Amino acid sequence: MTNKKEKPPVPERLPAPVVDAHTHLDACGAATAADVSAMVDRAEAAGVTRVVTVADDLDAARWAAQASTWDPRVFGAVAIHPTRTKEFGATERSEIERLSRQERVVAVGETGLDYYWDYSPHDAQQEAFRWHIDLAKRVGKPLMIHDRDAHEDVLRILAEEGAPEDVIFHCFSGDAEIARRCVAAGYVLSFAGTVTFRNAKELQEAARLVPSGQFLVETDAPFLTPHPFRGRPNEPFCTAYTVRYLAELREQSVEEVASAACRNAERVFRLPSVTTS
């Protein structure tokens, strides 16, 4: 019997490097610089050579910004998650803006709207989302969006505010029609382990149609572990499982999918390019 608390095995190394565009190293259990490096070592063994560790509250934002300085393979993203915007005042705004300007913080996120959980009023979420959109434009960094059961309002607010140059839909959860609208607007769709789930037919249809220049791959670890390990703890190395699944789904080689996702991450996050070792 499989132990649900046991991590999946580290898969064979990908034929081309890839970036985990959205993970939560602290939630995966990392606390120290040694923890972070050990976690990224496991990822690199699978071909996942860099990661973006993402904040969802103020403490996590401070940690992500600090962790991004501990290992050259780690970058940060900072924001207040929409489910935590019930109280979003001057302290939060000032600190997130300060952290977002740090060199190794490469995105403003995750921000957006979450209508699934009833933790923050919709009007508070929308106000915070508008503020984060403006911040991304002011600091010149990509906007990383959390969109759960709120597609129409997310797209409407982006249009009303004027989207930043680069917009990433983290853990894209829409169908093909929403994907087409995002692609037409120039947004980038990031696919997590959810695309591998057996019941994710609409999401899989969306993943097939996204152009090679407009997708990323991510884990959202420790959540959303790819099939067939769903329910077990996720880590950045599991990005490799999603890459292989997307290659089969999109009828491309694994190297083509990994290389495209890596190029897109380097472009969107302004990362230096790397070559396969």
Please report whether residue 102 resides in a domain: yes
pLDDT tens per residue, range 203-236: 999 999 999 999 999 999 999 999 999 999 999 9
Please report whether residue 198 resides in a domain: yes
Please state, rounded to an integer, the average pLDDT across all residues of the chain. Answer: 96
CA nearest neighbour of 137 among 117, 115, 174, 111? 111
Please report whether residue 78 resides in a domain: yes
Helices (H), 46-150: 58-67, 90-100, 122-139
Please report whether residue 10 resides in a domain: no
Please report whether residue 275 resides in a domain: no
The enclosing domain of 147 has a CATH number of 3.20.20.140
Domain that residue 56 falls in = 18-269
| Residue type at 39 in one-letter notation | M
Alpha-carbon span 257 to 203, nearest angstrom: 17
Q: Is the pLDDT of residue 275 over 90?
A: no
Alpha-carbon span 118 to 43, nearest angstrom: 34
Report the predicted TM-score, pTM, of the whole model to 2 decimal places. Answer: 0.96
Please report whether residue 152 resides in a domain: yes
Please report whether residue 224 resides in a domain: yes
Alpha-carbon span 103 to 111, nearest angstrom: 20
Q: How many domains does the chain have?
A: 1
**pLDDT value at residue 34:** 98
**At 257, which helix (H) or strand (E)?**
helix 254-269
Per-residue pLDDT, averaged over 109-121, amounts to: 96
Output the six-digit token pair for 40.
Answer: 């990224």
How far from each other are the two terminal CA atoms of the chain, in whole angstroms?
37
Which residues neighbour 1 within 8 Å (Cβ) at sequence distance 6 or greater?
none
**At 204, which helix (H) or strand (E)?**
helix 201-209
**pLDDT value at residue 276:** 47
pLDDT tens per residue, range 123-180: 999 999 999 999 999 999 999 999 999 999 999 999 999 999 999 999 999 999 999 9
Radius of gyration over every alpha carbon of the chain, rounded to an integer in angstroms: 17
Alpha-carbon span 263 to 271, nearest angstrom: 9
Please report whether residue 38 resides in a domain: yes
On whether the CB atoms of residues 107 and 168 are closer than 8 A, the answer is yes
CA nearest neighbour of 257 among 18, 33, 74? 18
Which residues neighbour 187 within 8 Å (Cβ) at sequence distance 6 or greater?
163, 167, 168, 169, 214
Task: Name residue 112's beta-bridge partners.
Answer: 146
On whether the CB atoms of residues 199 and 174 are closer than 8 A, the answer is no
